[in-house]
Structure 1
Amino acid sequence: MADRLSVFKTYKLYVGGKFPRSESGRVYEVTDSEGNWLANAPLASRKDARDAVVAARKAFGGWSGATAYNRGQILYRVAEMLEGRRAQFTAEVAAAEGLPETQAAAQVDAAVDRWVWYAGWSDKVAQIAGSANPVAGPYFNLSSPEPTGVVAVLAPQEPSFLGLVSVIAPAIVTGNTVVAVASERAPLPALSLAEVLATSDLPGGVVNLLSGRTAELGAPLAAHQDVNAIDLAGADAELAAELEAAAADNLKRVRRPAPVDWSADPGTGRLLSFLETKTVWHPMGV
């Protein structure tokens, strides 16, 4: 058999359900823990970030208007598809983070389980975030949670894959749409996740994935007037302070970075972070 040429994977951004290259054409080298070249990842620009926000806003109406049960089904479908590609993601996580195969496999398994965890919360979150309020007068007074809107997410630098899933899934299951900046040092598993999202039932634009410099992409997202909230999980203390100040211009909801054990039970904290409360008064019938 004749020798074959190696077919290297071309990694691209994921914006609006499509796979564009960076508008500037820039890439940067991604290496393993020993400095060996793995791939060239797209180096997204401010224009790419703005395009991703436009795509997320366009998708928000349909996604937030879907039933909670339907959103849960779609998240579970993502878990199903990841389960079928465990070997690929285990290899990518092991190479990206310099982990033994067993540890990489455990991270991938945890990421799959995280999708299932949040899928189950889709039609239950209203029961813990909503309420019937006692008021003086012949009225029903009901509070219910609604999505905040477009959420920008700076994914944790490590673990690159489990951390990304852990910040994306809780934002979208409640009806928000997301622009996520992958781990700067280890973006390849995140960019491969885009292939899973694109072939699942998730509508284009609900999740948009960018790779590049966290600080370069975080600045326009924090200052963008059509971004409603930002999760600074992947920012260091200095960058987080700068982005929080920029986010104040349109009163964005900000989730500050904090030490997190990403392998632990996630709880409901992130699930509730990007919800607004709508309260309705309704007269009682005679």
Structure 2
Amino acid sequence: MAERLAVKKTYKLYIGGKFPRSESGRSYQVSDAKGRFLANAAWATRKDARDAVVAARKAYPGWSGATAYNRGQVLYRVAEVMEGRHAQFVDEVAAGEGVARGKAEKLVDEAIDRWVWYAGWSDKIAQVVGSSNPVAGPYFDFSVPEPTGVVAVLAPQRSSLLGLVSVLAPVIVGGNTAVLAASLERPLPAVTLSEVLATSDLPGGVVNILTGRVGDTAAWLAAHMDVNAVDLAGAAGDAEHARQLELAAADNLKRVVRAPEAEPEWTAEPGLERITAYLETKTVWHPVGI
């Protein structure tokens, strides 16, 4: 038999549960750690970023209004589908991050386990950060967490899957919707995750994924008046870029998770800080006996 021609892939964006081409029609070459061609990825523009925000806002009422138990079940289903793509994730992490296959398998295992860990917090976080407050009078007084809204997330540039999961899962588990700008040089795990999300029970628009240079979309997301919070993890190590994004986010008083001085060690215990960063506290008074 003649040798088969390689089927070279050109991936698209993930917006509103669909896979549109970039508005610019442009793509760029993704290579492995040794410079060998892997695939082409879409080059997102500010128009694509705006479309993603519109999709995230449209999905927000349904996702934030779902029960915490239902959100947890949906996220657990995502982990199940990720497990079915385990070998593909390992190949992409190993190629993109230039690590041995054994190390890549460990990173993928940790990423899936972390997704499950966050899914488990969906119906528990309210009990941990909420409260029933003692008051002097015939009233019940409750403080309960509520989602912030649409969150723009700059994914880590080096940790293509574990870091990605560590910044995305805590956003949506609390009922927020997300627009995520993936790693420029290592976008393939994010692209595969978008295919996982599209074939799981997650409603379209809850997560929207953009590929390309973060600098082409980050400033527009940070300044967008319909974005309620921004995570600058992907600007780690670039203090001036992070400062400019914080200034842009200040126009509508966005919540900001600041960029670290260097990309953190994502294998460390995650804690609840990234969940609570995107939660508001609502306090309700109600008369006793009514």
2:286 aligned with 1:278: no
2:28 aligned with 1:3: no
User: Which residue is 1:78 aligned to?
Assistant: 78
CA distance in 2, matches of 1:167, 1:136: 41
Q: Secondary structure at the match of 1:282?
A: strand
User: Which residue is 2:250 aligned to?
Assistant: 248
2:280 aligned with 1:265: no
Offset of 1:264 from its aligned partner?
1.5
User: Which residue is 2:215 aligned to?
Assistant: 215
CA distance in 2, matches of 1:233, 1:4: 41
Per-residue Cα deviation, 1:176-233 (whole angstroms, up to 9, x for no partner): 0000000111111111110000000000000000011111210000000000000000
Counterpart of 1:122, as a letter, is: S
User: Which residue is 1:191 aligned to?
Assistant: 191
Identity of aligned residues (%): 70
CA distance in 2, matches of 1:136, 1:222: 43
Counterpart of 2:191, as a letter, is: L
User: Which residue is 1:113 aligned to?
Assistant: 113
User: Which residue is 2:55 aligned to?
Assistant: 55
Preserved CA contact (<8 Å) 2:139 2:286 = yes
Q: Secondary structure at the match of 1:220?
A: helix
Offset of 1:30 from its aligned partner?
1.5
CA distance in 2, matches of 1:159, 1:100: 14
User: Which residue is 1:238 aligned to?
Assistant: 240
Provide structure 1 residue ranges, at least 5 long, that are not aligned to the other structure.
none
CA distance in 1, matches of 2:176, 2:208: 12
Offset of 1:4 from its aligned partner?
2.0
Offset of 1:55 from its aligned partner?
0.2
CA distance in 2, matches of 1:238, 1:35: 29
252-261 or 160-169, larger mean C-alpha shift: 252-261
Q: Secondary structure at the match of 1:39?
A: strand
CA distance in 1, matches of 2:102, 2:259: 28
Per-residue Cα deviation, 1:134-174 (whole angstroms, up to 9, x for no partner): 22222111000000000000001121111111111010011
- Length, aligned pairs only: 286
Offset of 1:35 from its aligned partner?
1.9
CA distance in 2, matches of 1:226, 1:132: 32
Offset of 1:109 from its aligned partner?
0.6
User: Which residue is 2:68 aligned to?
Assistant: 68
Counterpart of 1:278, as a letter, is: K
**Alpha carbon RMSD of aligned pairs, Å?**
1.1
CA distance in 1, matches of 2:221, 2:253: 13
Preserved CA contact (<8 Å) 2:23 2:45 = yes
CA distance in 1, matches of 2:141, 2:2: 75
Counterpart of 1:284, as a letter, is: V
CA distance in 1, matches of 2:11, 2:161: 15
Provide structure 2 residue ranges, at least 5 long, that are not aligned to the other structure.
none
Counterpart of 2:199, as a letter, is: T
User: Which residue is 1:161 aligned to?
Assistant: 161
24-33 or 65-74, larger mean C-alpha shift: 24-33
TM-score by length of 2: 0.96
Q: List structure 1 runs of 4+ shifted beyond 3 angstroms.
A: none
Q: Secondary structure at the match of 1:12?
A: coil
TM-score by length of 1: 0.98
